[in-house]
Chain A
Amino acid sequence: MNTGYNFAYLDEQTKRMLRRAILKAVAIPGYQVPFGSREMPLPYGWGTGGIQVTAAVIGADDTLKVIDQGADDTTNAVSIRRFFARTTGVATTEKTVEATVIQTRHRIPETPLSDGQIMVYQVPIPEPLRWLEPRETETRKMHALADYGAMHVKLYEDIARYGHIATTYDYPVLVNGRYLMRPSPIPKFDNPKMDHSPALQLFGAGREKRIYAVPPYTSVKSLDFEDHPFEVQRWDQACALCGSTESFLDEVVTDDKGGRMYVCSDSDYCGERQKDQMQ
């Protein structure tokens, strides 16, 4: 453990500022709280928002899991896990069930979350309306007025042109019946896991300086239409390693002749299933 810095790198004043922002975010589910994001020793885009949120909530007794694309051994997940191991000395784990804090980029674990767990999402662009309206001054007004017609029109236009809603990840959700929220770029496959989750879900966008939250057991509804209900991705294949037909599969190209195989993106879930099958 590196003792040259405060516990979890940030000074206590900064952590207090972050905790205030987090409390406000929890009190207004789905609302984006501006905060004084600090310049972290990792680049913007690598998860500086998630890292600040984790640093604000992590304690010496916590067990931390970090995933990127569902896997614990992707380079950025390794790097962030090392950062907290160095600056906090907390226990780390790859097992979803053992973790008290899970920082993630782009996935929610397949294993259901439980009471007392905290999910920390890394968020690149927090504003769900950003690609419809580039101005922050405008989108803040739209949220204040719950003026989300533009998003429904966008989804409707998808259906008119393609026959489907063509958004496949970072699929917009309505939180607690009030605020439109970006779930971060998780596949829409993961959206249903957010709804009434027993875990506290915190979202940190460092470069954009916003924190938002979904408290436990809060409604998270993916936008849809009565005649075009929300649906998630399905695969014709099962995982080539563990045989799961329930999980999100990554496509792995095996040669240059069109050969490919499908494996679970959640490395912990896949590994545990393989272990069970060995016994």
Chain B
Amino acid sequence: MYVAVKGGEKAIDNAHALMAQGRRGAESVPELSLEQISGQLSLAVERVMTEGSVYDRDLAALALKQAQGDAVEAIFLLRAYRTTLPRFGSSQPVETGSMAIRRRISAAFKDLPGGQVLGPTYDYTHRLLDFALAAEGGARAPVAENPEPVEAAMPRVTDVLGHQGLIEPSGEGAEVPGDLTRQPLNFPAGRDLRLQNLARADEGFVLALAYSSQRGYGNTHPFAGEIRMGEVAVELVPEELGFAIEIGEITLTECQMVNQFKGSKTVPPQFTRGYGLSFGHCERKAMAMALVDRSLRAEDLGELVSNPAQDQEFVLYHSDNVEASGFVQHLKLPHYVDFQSELEMIRRLRRENAEAAQ
């Protein structure tokens, strides 16, 4: 007999209830608090803030809790919240040159003004599971006090190179940068929109593209000129005041890649720039972004565009994980009608084939 194939309101309500049950886990175990998530899963929170385009640790922690730790789902939740927020102005460009440094390394110079500051990093840990962590608590080793404070003057490596004209100037940005969350992307897209797209882009996608550029699909000969992480002030010029006031402080990771460039007919040989920036401490993302930014500049610099990482439409149209996740997963929505149409066509073609064979 006719089987009920169509779901209804009840099924949807029950689906939500089942997810809520799964989210809570065993009731005998205390529930996670947002403070625990933002304090103890901080790198996850910072990824969600970066790709969700909202700097708010509490909201990102809530999104992660609600999404059961699924980063892409949490990013989606934060983005959907973000669209409803009013825009009351644009900040001044943040001055990363005067960042309160917690970490600053250069792979291009052994020593440089301000010195190398290793700061927090997993780079030199041996990746051995720490079973002491599983046992809860346990006093952690105290952080050694730095005998001397980090130097106040910490010029960016690209500025050091810039004094000697060895690296291209960073270029003037648009007076008011574009916003692809308000205006649709058009091609060719300016660097402001490309950087915005990459900053919001899925870390895995950008990482893979960056990796492909290192493996021969459009090599950009990069050096990690500098990676710095720390706090910067955000300033805003309210119309009624006419001067900048500080409205808060955010943690950023910035990566400046320095790339070889042999010069062209009009430009002398010099180093070129690739730029990466993330909220919080998303170093992998910032580095990958800087590589892809430089790759996407191929056309502007008169280089041959022949690889995925250099192709604006390919990169910018496919980088967003909320878009990609939605379109890939929409395949689970019913397609009965289209499938029926295809069934009818296949049957007809088979029938005609069989008739022709006789």
A-side interface mostly: loop
Say whether A34 faces chain B, with CB atoms less than 8 Å apart: yes
Contact B313 A169 (CB under 8 A): no
A-B contact count (CB 8 A): 146
Q: Report Cα–Cα, A254/B325, bound state, in Å.
A: 33
Chain B nearest CB from A263 CB (Å) reads: 7
Beyond A43-B329, A46-B326, is A164–B336 a contact (Cβ under 8 Å)? Answer: no
Looking at B184, B341, B348, the one whose CB has the most chain A CB atoms below 10 A away is B341
Considering the complex, which residues of chain A in the window 165-215 have a beta carbon less than 8 Å from any beta carbon of chain B? 166, 168-170, 185-189, 207, 209-210
Interface membership of A135, Cβ < 8 A: yes
Contact-size category for A: 35 or more
Contact call B337/A163, Cβ cutoff below 8 A: no
Number of interface residues of B (CB under 8 A): 50
Given known A-B contacts A39-B82, A40-B83, A168-B344, A265 and B182 have beta carbons under 8 A apart: no
**B337→A107 contact, CB < 8 A:** yes
Could you tell me if B334 and A241 are in contact, using CB atoms closer than 8 angstroms?
no
Chain B minimum-CB-distance residue to A251: B340
Contact status B330-A44, CB under 8 Å: yes
Q: Which of B9, B11, B326, B340 contacts A45 (CB 8 A)?
A: B326
**Is A248 located at the chain interface by the 8 A CB criterion?**
yes
- Give the docked Cα–Cα distance between A105 and B333 (Å): 10
Q: Does A68 have its Cβ within 8 Å of any Cβ on chain B?
A: yes
Interface string of A221-237 (1 = CB under 8 A from B): 00000000000010100
Q: A168-B345, A188-B341 are in contact. Are A252 and B3 (CB under 8 A)?
A: yes
Q: Residue A75 contacts which of B11, B76, B82 (CB distance < 8 angstroms)?
A: B11
Contact A75 B7 (CB under 8 A): yes
Knowing A209-B184, A251-B340 touch, does A75 contact B12 (C-beta < 8 A)? yes
Judged by a CB distance under 8 angstroms, whether A250 is at the interface is: yes
- A sample of 17 more A-B contacts (CB under 8 A), given A75-B334, A250-B336, is A36-B184, A39-B83, A39-B181, A44-B322, A44-B326, A45-B329, A75-B6, A79-B12, A124-B330, A136-B313, A136-B317, A163-B352, A168-B341, A187-B337, A209-B184, A248-B337, A251-B340
Write 9 A-B pairs (CB below 8 A) sorted by A numbering: A38-B181, A40-B80, A68-B334, A78-B7, A78-B12, A136-B187, A164-B349, A187-B340, A189-B341
Listed from nearest, the 10 A-B pairs whose CB atoms lie closest are: A45-B330, A44-B326, A168-B341, A43-B326, A209-B184, A34-B184, A45-B326, A75-B7, A41-B80, A169-B338
Residues in chain B within 8 A of chain A (CB atoms): 1-3, 5-9, 11-12, 76, 79-80, 82-84, 86, 181-188, 313, 317, 322-323, 325-330, 333-338, 340-345, 348-349, 352
